[in-house]
Amino acid sequence: MGSLTQEQVTFFEREGYLIVPRIFDPQDLEPLRREMESIIDHEARRLHEEGKLTRLHEDAPFETRLALIYEDAPENGLAIIQALEGRAGGGHKGIEMFRVITHPRLLAVVESLVGPEIIGSSVYRIRPKLPRINRGVVPWHQDSGYFAEVCDKHLILTVWIPLVNATIENGCMQILPRAHRQGVVTHHTGGNAGFLVIDDNDLPGNPRQAVVAECPLGGAVLMTNLTPHCSTENNSDHIRWSIDLRYQGADAPNNAGLWPAEEIANHDSELVQYQMACYPPEADFVVQSRLRPEQVADFETFARRRAMFDNARFIAYPRRGWTPIQA
């Protein structure tokens, strides 16, 4: 089923990342691309009917249509991006997204690193990096900088999946190898586009020794939650589309058994903020279990959980006391 080899697992544990050039057949990702394309088309036509958008660019391909709309009027491009990303960033929760998250070949790879009892972690992201737009530049950070401290000693696996070939030209990730061994370093708020950022003086490694994580369509970049990484500007003529998914073992803190309307509101605030999940207020869900197969979420459960958590605004985000970056 495509499990990692022992050599690949050893490399991941030593280096803090692994590039797997082929997990999917590229055609496996085409339904998700079409699903996102339909959202772009729907939002473009809505903006057109409202008199805000004059050119639909309906003949442009997935790789360029949103960029062309943005070039005509950035506010329209940003509105469509918001529809894809949603309030918290996870946003789109269609069936093709779910099918990628639960794809058997992907879960076989994930099992090699987190074990057979797999939780779909509480945050995934859609990343449309438009050409020559500063918004898509992500500064150096560790994913754990965003997570609750209770999860610092657990592996929260990031699976970064490009929906086009990811190259240095279109702004693929850069990774600091072996720096995950130093734990969570100091982050600051106020990085580019509102991202967290690690100051150069606190960076656990030399940026000049960063690995350029180029990855073809059908592959994935795997990282630990402690692996420092960044993303540079897209200097190509097309959008660098990608998604990043997160998985963890069932022994890591999660909210997979909780529903906001029933249980979360009854917990004290400290439990809500730090103990339910690594990244509340977003929903965790069981994607594989041999011990309790009846708990594995189907698409309807996945979509309903994400919708309910999206609407449960009283659930606080993790707070780690990071201070603003100095200008």
- The answer to whether residue 314 scores a pLDDT higher than 80 is no
Query: pLDDT category, 260, cuts 50, 70, 90?
Result: confident
- The answer to whether residue 86 scores a pLDDT higher than 90 is no
pLDDT tens digits for 100-139?
999 999 999 999 999 999 999 878 888 899 998 988 899 9
Size (the chain), residues: 327
User: For the chain, first and last CA: distance in Å?
Assistant: 50
Mean pLDDT across 278-282? 87
The reported pLDDT for the residue numbered 261 is 66
| Block residue for tokens 């070939």 | 165
| 166 DSSP 8-state letter | B
The reported pLDDT for the residue numbered 319 is 87
The reported pLDDT for the residue numbered 281 is 82
Q: Distance between CA 106 and CA 104 in Å, rounded?
A: 5
- The answer to whether residue 265 scores a pLDDT higher than 90 is no
Provide the β-strand partners of residue 138.
231
- The answer to whether residue 91 scores a pLDDT higher than 80 is no
- The answer to whether residue 16 scores a pLDDT higher than 50 is yes
Mean pLDDT across 53-81? 96
Query: 168 is written with which tokens?
Result: 């240095």
- H/E stretch holding 139: strand 138-141
pLDDT tens digits for 232-245?
999 999 999 999 99
Query: pLDDT category, 89, cuts 50, 70, 90?
Result: very low
The reported pLDDT for the residue numbered 88 is 52
CB count, 10 Å around CB of 259?
Answer: 14
Domains of the chain (ranges; CATH) run 6-27+90-324 (2.60.120.620), 31-85 (no CATH)
pLDDT tens digits for 128-180?
999 989 888 999 999 999 999 999 999 999 999 999 999 999 999 999 999 99
Query: pLDDT category, 93, cuts 50, 70, 90?
Result: confident
DSSP letters, 145-160, are: GTS-GGGTTS-EEEEE
Sheet architecture: strand order including 138-141:
138-141, 229-231, 173-175, 211-212
